[in-house]
């Protein structure tokens, strides 16, 4: 069977600046791919390419026959949405259904059921009449995830989903994602700069850092030099933090 999504030799240049060069990887149905890398490593550009928001300079992105890239459920970074927008939770979640049909002016019964199901699945039914702008960061993220689920049955694309969430809310959020992946067999592509937490549930890893591109299964990735390097950097980071706190409190 063809993979759900297949990037072949994708290259993107802005002017003379090459952001992605000759990148190849694939995502199978039910896969969980973590895309990690520092800021400026081309993660955001890759997302935009997958969503067809950014033209490829070279290469192609193919999909399985029964899958269109319109059906990718997308969870954008929070910063893209204005926080004071007047909209109820219900209105936001339902808007995920719009890609399913092209010209109907109203939501169908099926759309409404789908929205209902996804609000239920994410435990936000009791918030349905609440205004989006009055919710906490974690709740807002659940609302946007419910909207994304309305747009897809197969593939979720998450862009830095836990940025701005407190530690407790981000643990909960990772749990939800794992559940969707394991129980509902929705393939996940998660972009993250958190190189520890972002990898815990992953089945595949794509590491981007300038010229270095590394796509591997999680087990293989953990054995690699890159993983060791990341772990070392992480330890240094923790060490620095401890030194800082020691100085501060003694």
Partner 1 sequence: MTENLRELFSPALLHHIILPALISGIAVSVCAALLGVSLVLRRFSMIGDGLSHVGYGALCVASVLELAPLYVAIPVVLGAAFLLLGQGTSSKLKGENTVALFSTTAMAVGILVSSKAGLTNDVSHYMYGSILSLQKSEVILCVATALLVIAAFVLLYHRVFAVTFDENFSKATGIPVRVYNMAIAALTAVTVVMGMMLMGVLLISSLIVIPTLSAMRLCRSFRGVVVGAVVLSVIGFVLGFFAAVAMDLTPGASVEVVSVGIFLLCCLAGRLRGAE
CA 192 vs CA 2, 40, 67, 162: distances in Å: 26, 12, 25, 8
Least distance (Å) between residue 146 CB and partner 1: 13
Nearer to partner 1 (CB atom), residue 68 or residue 232: 68
Contact at 8 Å (CB) between 73 and 96? yes
Least distance (Å) between residue 222 CB and partner 1: 32
Nearer to partner 1 (CB atom), residue 107 or residue 218: 107
Nearer to partner 1 (CB atom), residue 106 or residue 249: 106
Least distance (Å) between residue 131 CB and partner 1: 4
Interface residues with partner 1 (CB under 8 A) are 51-53, 70, 72, 74, 76, 80-82, 85-88, 91-92, 94-96, 98-99, 102, 105-107, 129-131, 134, 147, 151
Least distance (Å) between residue 89 CB and partner 1: 10
Nearer to partner 1 (CB atom), residue 97 or residue 199: 97
Angle formed at CA 79 by CA 78 and CA 80, multiple of 5 degrees: 90
Residues 54, 12: Cα–Cα separation, whole Å: 9
Contact at 8 Å (CB) between 89 and 143? yes
């Amino acid at each position: 069977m063809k993979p759900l999504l297949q990037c072949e030799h994708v290259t993107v240049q802005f002017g003379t600046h090459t952001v992605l060069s000759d990148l190849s990887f694939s995502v199978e149905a039910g896969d969980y791919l973590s895309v990690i890398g520092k800021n400026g490593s081309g993660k955001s550009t890759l997302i935009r390419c997958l969503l067809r928001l950014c033209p490829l300079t070279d290469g192609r992105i193919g999909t399985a026959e029964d899958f269109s890239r319109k059906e990718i459920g997308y969870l954008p970074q929070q910063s893209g949405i204005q926080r004071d927008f007047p909209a109820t939770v219900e209105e936001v979640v339902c808007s995920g259904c719009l890609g399913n049909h092209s010209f109907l002016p109203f939501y169908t019964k099926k759309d409404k059921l789908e929205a209902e199901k996804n609000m239920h699945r994410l435990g936000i039914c009791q918030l349905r009449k609440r205004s989006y702008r009055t919710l906490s960061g974690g709740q807002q993220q659940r609302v946007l995830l419910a909207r994304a689920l309305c747009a897809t049955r197969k593939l979720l694309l998450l862009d830095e989903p836990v940025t701005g969430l407190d530690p407790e809310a981000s643990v909960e959020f990772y749990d939800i994602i794992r559940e969707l992946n394991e129980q509902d067999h929705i393939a996940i592509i998660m972009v993250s700069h958190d190189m520890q937490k972002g990898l815990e549930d992953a089945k595949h890893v794509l590491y981007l850092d300038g010229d270095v591109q590394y796509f591997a299964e999680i087990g293989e990735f953990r054995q690699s030099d890159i993983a060791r390097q990341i772990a070392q950097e992480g330890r240094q980071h923790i060490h620095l933090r401890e030194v800082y706190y020691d100085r501060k409190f003694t």
